[in-house]
């Protein structure tokens, strides 16, 4: 009786888990960790992307790494952090394979880089214009003038 030995190697894109601990702006630094699992288990960390919830616009991109070190934290660092990883396998039945994300909340005041006020001018029926002023969550009518 003859026996044939076969070795079956199933390759799959990495499943990626991202972990982070919410923090405050008084903590100057935090780490966002990216953990990949797949075969083959040789990973290339492509990029980190920072997005705001509900928006696809990438606010910041960082070079790929297993750990993303964030320094000089402000509220603006809050949002989703997505880690993209490859291992050479192109196809997967899981559309989320190769990327993982987690939400980071940095509690604290808005930094000095944000707008402190926004002026909104509205012209109604080409007669009046209103100047509204929004300052740190206070919204008020600043000036009403006749438009000529």
> pLDDT digits over 102-116, tens only?
999 998 765 554 444
Judged on CB neighbours under 10 Å (0-12, 13-18, 19+), 79 is buried
Q: Which of 2-11, 38-47, 132-141 has the lowest mean pLDDT?
A: 132-141
Torsion angle of alpha carbons 109, 70, 49, 66, nearest 10°?
A: -150
Between strands 79-86 and 44-51, the pairing is antiparallel
Contact (Cβ atoms closer than 8 angstroms) between residue 89 and residue 12: yes
- DSSP letter at 120 equals E
Residue with the two structure tokens 């000036």? 143
CA distance 101 to 32: 10
Contact (Cβ atoms closer than 8 angstroms) between residue 50 and residue 32: no
Average pLDDT over residues 55-79: 92
Residue of higher predicted confidence among 49 and 56: 49
pLDDT for the residue numbered 142: 47
The alpha carbon dihedral of 47, 50, 54, 56 has a sign of: negative
């Amino acid at each position: 009786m003859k026996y044939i030995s076969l070795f079956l190697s199933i390759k799959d894109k990495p499943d990626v888990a991202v972990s982070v601990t919410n923090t405050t702006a008084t903590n100057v630094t935090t780490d966002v960790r990216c953990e990949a699992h797949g075969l083959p288990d040789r990973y290339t960390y492509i990029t980190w992307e920072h997005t705001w919830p509900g928006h696809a616009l990438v606010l910041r991109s960082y070079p790929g790494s297993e750990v993303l070190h964030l320094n000089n934290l402000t509220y603006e660092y809050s949002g989703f952090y997505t880690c993209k990883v490859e291992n050479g396998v192109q196809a997967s039945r899981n559309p989320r394979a190769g990327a993982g994300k987690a939400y980071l909340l940095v509690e604290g005041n808005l930094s000095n880089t944000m707008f402190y006020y926004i002026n909104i001018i509205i012209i109604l029926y080409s007669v009046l214009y209103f100047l509204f002023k929004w300052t740190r969550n206070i919204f008020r009518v600043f000036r009403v003038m006749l438009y000529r």
